[in-house]
Chains A and B, each alone.
Chain A
Amino acid sequence: MILNWKTGGLALGLVFFLAVLIVKPIGVSTQFVILDGIVWNAVDSSVVTQTEDGKYTSSNAYLAKSNGKYAKHVANPLNYSFVFVLAMMVGAAISAAGRGWVPKEERVMPPIWRANFGDSHAKRYAAAFIGGFIVLYGARLAGGCTSGHMMSGLMQTSLSGYIFTIGAFGAAIPVALMMYKKEG
């Protein structure tokens, strides 16, 4: 059961407001870096190190940037932003359970994909993987994603939010129009 756009939009707006009222604006994509860092640091513990004054730094320039902010989060995964993303998964799962989960035939691909590209699971998985690679590379280059830049950014009237949104929709709409000509 999907909410109509008015109720759904109002609820989503209240969540974004609640976040900035209580803690800070919502953002997600940084946590892909943090999870990478956690895995990498588990394999090679020299990746994130603590300096003598208690601060964290990293042999990786990106994790070390902004005074080791990311390095610190890699070393302490139980921080607000990382737990936020885990909780988001739980919330989505509870909602899905409440509406009888995703229909079996849609768990691999949405109907519009099937209508345009056929039933090959491998093809859909490959596209999702490549899409994910490009999305997260882009999000990190941009310094945020649809949540952090677009929703949180536009809501705060930040210039970066507008620049990001123009770039993202300016690319996504033509690509979608080219890729998905048949309605599914």
Chain B
Amino acid sequence: MTIIYALIIGGVFGFVLDRIGATNPQYIIKMLNLTNLHLAKAILLAIGVASILMFLGQMLGLVDVAHMSVKAAEIGVFVGGILLGIGWAIAGFCPGTGVAAAATGRKDALFFIAGGLLGAAAYMATYPAAKAMGLMAKIGGGKVTLGTVPGAKYDGLTAIPGDVLGIVLGIVFVIVAFALPDRLSGSAAGATQPAE
């Protein structure tokens, strides 16, 4: 049954990624050089909507709290995030959008995937060294949420009710999505018409 779910949810995810332009490195790069924030606004709205629905669903007993999967906060998360950011700007793809982009016929995405497979293999080879360097040192208790989510197996960084905080932050994400201008960089004169 889980395989059926994987087919449906994965399929819809790939479809939507393509329809919001996330499989197009043009949109990714223009988001990152702040000349077209269409994608950033869509992502912020998505996070807000998903957060509100999930925590509201938990409060109403409709969403299983045990489905949450919180990753550990470690030094490596920050360092790895920086590395990912650098490569993301160079290539214009991240792991999910790169794979989806290859499926839409982008040849550069195939090279991204090949590099990615080698990069993942390089991490498999150097994992003990990364661990020895202290990159897996926990921050703020590791697998924690900002508030304390009722019934969750994860600790809260604060005692604030995690579900309420999740809804509030979700609303903040939605507001930021609407408040964000279409572009932040470049002169108004240069902003006459986006390339697409």
Q: How far is the CB of B162 from chain A (nearest CB, A)?
A: 6
Chain B 45-57 near chain A by CB (<8 Å), digits 1 or 0? 1111111011001
B59 at the interface (CB under 8 A from A): no
Contacts of B94 in A (CB 8 A): 135, 139, 145-147
A1 to B54, CA, bound (A): 30
Judging by beta carbons under 8 Å apart, are B14 and A92 in contact? Answer: yes
A171 at the interface (CB under 8 A from B): yes
Q: How far is the CB of A27 from chain B (nearest CB, A)?
A: 8
Contacts of A143 in B (CB 8 A): 71-72, 74, 76-77, 80
Contacts of B108 in A (CB 8 A): 107-109, 124-125, 128
Chain A contact-residue range equals 35 or more
A139 to B86, CA, bound (A): 11
Chain B contact-residue range equals 35 or more
Contact of B85 among A14, A136, A170 (CB under 8 A): A170
A132 to B190, CA, bound (A): 31
B171 at the interface (CB under 8 A from A): no
Most B C-beta atoms less than 10 A away, residue of A81, A131, A175: A131
Contact of B105 among A102, A124, A146, A166 (CB under 8 A): A102
Judging by beta carbons under 8 Å apart, are B103 and A167 in contact? Answer: no
Contacts of B44 in A (CB 8 A): 9
Judging by beta carbons under 8 Å apart, are B83 and A141 in contact? Answer: yes
Contacts of B49 in A (CB 8 A): 9-10, 13-14, 17
Contacts of B74 in A (CB 8 A): 143, 160
Given A13-B49, A131-B88, A177-B34, A32 and B145 contact (CB-CB distance below 8 Å)? no
Judging by beta carbons under 8 Å apart, are B45 and A10 in contact? Answer: yes
Contacts of A62 in B (CB 8 A): 123-124, 127
From residue 133 to 153 of chain B, which have CB atoms closer than 8 A to chain A?
135, 139-141, 143-147, 149
Residue of B nearest to A28 (CB): B96
A43 at the interface (CB under 8 A from B): no
Given A9-B45, A78-B3, A111-B26, A92 and B122 contact (CB-CB distance below 8 Å)? no
Contact of B29 among A21, A110, A129 (CB under 8 A): A110
Judging by beta carbons under 8 Å apart, are B29 and A137 in contact? Answer: no
Judging by beta carbons under 8 Å apart, are B14 and A91 in contact? Answer: yes
Judging by beta carbons under 8 Å apart, are B15 and A107 in contact? Answer: no
Q: How far is the CB of A113 from chain B (nearest CB, A)?
A: 7
Could you list some 18 contacts between A and B, CB below 8 A? A3-B21, A3-B42, A14-B49, A20-B67, A25-B69, A33-B123, A61-B127, A88-B99, A89-B99, A90-B103, A95-B15, A128-B115, A132-B91, A135-B91, A135-B112, A156-B51, A170-B85, A176-B89
14 extra A-B contacts, CB within 8 A, seeds A143-B77, A159-B141 = A9-B20, A79-B2, A84-B9, A84-B13, A102-B104, A106-B26, A131-B87, A135-B112, A136-B116, A138-B84, A141-B130, A144-B77, A167-B81, A183-B195
Nearest 6 interchain pairs by C-beta? A131-B91, A167-B81, A142-B80, A138-B83, A132-B115, A13-B49
